Amino acid sequence: MKKNTLILLSVLFVFGAKAQSLEPVKITKDWLSKIESLAPAKAKVDAPKRKILVFSQHTGFYHWCIPNNDEVLKIMAKKSGAFDVFISHDLDSFEKKNLKQYDAVIFNNCNPSGPKRDLFYDLMDQRSSLAEAEIEAKAKVYQQNFMDYIAKGGGLFIMHGAITVQNNSMEFSRMTGGSFDYHPKQQEIHLKEVDKNHPLVAAFHGDGFTHIDEPYFFKNAYSELNFKPLLYMESKEIESKRDQAHDDIVYLAWIKRHGKGRVFYSSMSHNIQSLDQPELMEFFLDGIQYVTGDLDCDDSPMSK
């Protein structure tokens, strides 16, 4: 029996075979020690140490794993020696002069609220007494600053719900590869490699990845498939889908170019228990090296 299947079965035993979600995990010394023991000891590519901005602010749905992810990324950075982590909750991070300091940005489940689904607007609105039209205009400036930063060679790693950062912007959706549509209840998801020989899925050794998470479905630019898919789920295996047509295959991780920059999306980051399978941290580290430009691989887009 495959190793990650054995781990999943043990999780199901603890939480029940019908588990719809997993409980938050407290950040304790024991938990940190476990993560450190499971984190990759070395990055795949020897390269200069990179500076990574981790943006962990939210204005909408709060993913309890956000502070856990911060700690995981710190441990991965220290143990691998591949990068330094700078965690931010401040909108000023997206000023042009600040973005220039970093080789890449990680969106750590930084979900905006609805119905605008515009993180820059939300953060500006929280701290400003400007009229709505002025806030909207300034939010567009922050969005353009960030898109220009990626287009000029910056990197972006999007974790799970952060695909919603500018969810109603088609321009932003084309940069990231898609926008969030909805998700059914949490459930066991078996992800499979699109190409088992692709270096960015080497962590899974051809076995795929099985865990409990929210199965995401996407809209907007996703239908253009302007990315290189890495992992997918089969929609027929998913319970409680909306009563609508779905593609047989739904991609849940991909990479893509935007101008001179690179983008990596992974839907697997709702439950920190998924990291009990060390393959996932290796996958994240490989993705980080991809967006910093250190891990070169085929990122040619597919099309419908």
**pLDDT the model gives residue 304:** 55
User: What burial letters (b/e) apply to 82-113, b meaning 16+ CB within 10 Å?
Assistant: bbebebbeebebbeeeebeebbbbbbbbbbbb
Fill in the DSSP letter of residue 63. P
- How does pLDDT run across 130-162, given as a tens digit for each residue? 899 999 999 999 999 999 999 999 999 999 999
User: What burial letters (b/e) apply to 224-247, b meaning 16+ CB within 10 Å?
Assistant: ebbbbbbbbbeeeebeebeeeeee
Model confidence, pTM: 0.92
C-alpha torsion 78→45→291→198, nearest 10:
-130
Q: Report whether pLDDT(60) > 80.
A: no
- How does pLDDT run across 234-287, given as a tens digit for each residue? 999 999 999 888 899 999 999 999 999 999 999 998 899 999 999 999 999 999
- pLDDT band per the 50, 70, 90 thresholds, residue 19: very low
Q: What are the structural domains, with CATH classification, of the chain?
A: 25-291 (3.40.50.880)
Cβ-based neighbours of 48, under 8 Å, separated by 6 or more: none
Q: Terminal CA-to-CA distance of the chain, rounded, Å?
A: 35
Q: Supply φ then ψ for residue 76, to 5 degrees.
A: -60, -40
In Å, what is the CA distance from 172 to each residue of 31, 62, 90, 175?
36, 22, 20, 5
